[in-house]
Amino acid sequence: MGLLQSKYTNAAIHVIIWVTLLVLPELFFHNAHVFGLPHSFFTLGNIYHIGLFYLNAYWLYPKLLNRRFWWLYFPCLAIILIVSYWLKVFFLHIYDPSILISGYNFRVLFFPSVPFLVASIIFRYVLNSIRFEKLEKERKAERLSSELKFLRNQISPHFLFNMLTNMISMARHKSDLLEPSLIKLSDMLRYTLYETENERFNVVQELEYLRNYIELQQIRFEDSVEIELQIDDINEHCFIEPMLLVPFVENAFKHGVGMVAHAYIHIHAFMKENKLFFSVINNYNATNFSKDKSSGIGIQNVKNRLELLYPGKYSLQINDDGSVFDVQLNIDLLC
């Protein structure tokens, strides 16, 4: 509907301009002869010039002003100006053979074609620029959509790999916690595979998913890690891109728990106005730190998504002193 309205608006603007241009000679050149020429010549001449405008804007410029034929374009314009002049002379002599072509009215016959051609060049250039900008925006949006889909798809396999490793460990020890863990994992996978397809996702649901993830990890590690989760002042009317927070917590469990005595993970999330403040602090043993091939995929993924989705609207600070890993993330949310 908007595109149709835009087309009608553009057509209306053209009509108004040309009607105004055709009416002006009748208002100002109503005498029998002006510059030795009949006043009707100016109206008919403008009709001819309007034809030149569209001929150049929609045929000559697109066909010739390119890398292959650009050298033909300006000679063609010169030929058009010369032919236009002699056509006007020809029709004037048919209209009134007594009309004399002098230096005085030569300029009136020759030069009016020039501003119309110049105007058509500018019009076509602006039109091409608008179309190019629109195409670039569409290409950029398509690239962004494709990249985000790729990054989202990268999350689920990576998360699933880590969690299935945990389940294998439970199965080997014949743990009674395996069944409830599988149920929780099933609920979480439903979130990642289906619910996160929504373009707008409530921040409360994202934090609830984070809470479920932590509870699942607590089933596995029991009392071997001190987990502190604090969530305060969350605006339920705000929205966030899904799966942005859990990779930082996942990283804390992966590289902290089991590798250091008195392991701890402190997580805090709160909002002030429309800004989400999120922090994850955990300790780890640098001497036992082993970086496998998949290590860091989740955090790097989040960095890429933040840059794509919240350019200039987030800050991410990651501090590592060799024993404590501290993540501080702030995001301006849509509310």
Look-up of token digits 């030569």? 106
Q: What is the pLDDT of residues 178-214, one digit of tens each?
A: 887 788 778 777 766 665 556 567 888 888 888 888 8
Q: What is the pLDDT of residue 36?
A: 60
> At 246, phi and psi to the nearest 5?
-60, -30
Least confidently predicted of 111-120, 241-250, 295-304: 295-304
198-204 contacts at long range (C-beta below 8 A, 24 or more positions apart): 198/242, 200/239, 200/334, 201/239, 201/240, 201/241, 201/242, 202/236, 202/238, 202/239, 202/240, 203/234, 203/235, 203/236, 203/238, 203/239, 203/240, 203/271, 203/276, 203/333, 204/234, 204/236
Q: Which residues of 201-239 are buried (b: 16+ CB within 10 A; e: fewer)?
A: bbbbbbbebbebbbebbbebeeeebebebebeebbeebb
Q: What is the pLDDT of residue 303?
A: 85
% of the chain exceeding 90 in pLDDT: 8
Q: Kindly report the average pLDDT of the chain as a whole number.
A: 77
> What ranges do the domains of the chain cover?
2-111, 148-332
Choose among 245, 248, 252, 246: nearest CA to 225. Answer: 252
* pLDDT-based confidence at residue 278 (cuts at 50, 70, 90): very high
Q: What is the pLDDT of residue 326?
A: 92
Least confidently predicted of 1-10, 187-196, 210-219, 240-249: 1-10
CA 24-30-35 angle, to 5 degrees, is: 95
Check pLDDT > 60 for residue 153: no
Q: What is the pLDDT of residue 114?
A: 85
pTM score of the predicted model: 0.55
Check pLDDT > 80 for residue 132: yes
Q: Which option is the CATH number for 148-332: 3.30.565.10, 3.30.1490.190, 3.40.605.10, 2.60.40.2140? A: 3.30.565.10
| 156 or 266, which is more confident | 266
Check pLDDT > 90 for residue 327: yes
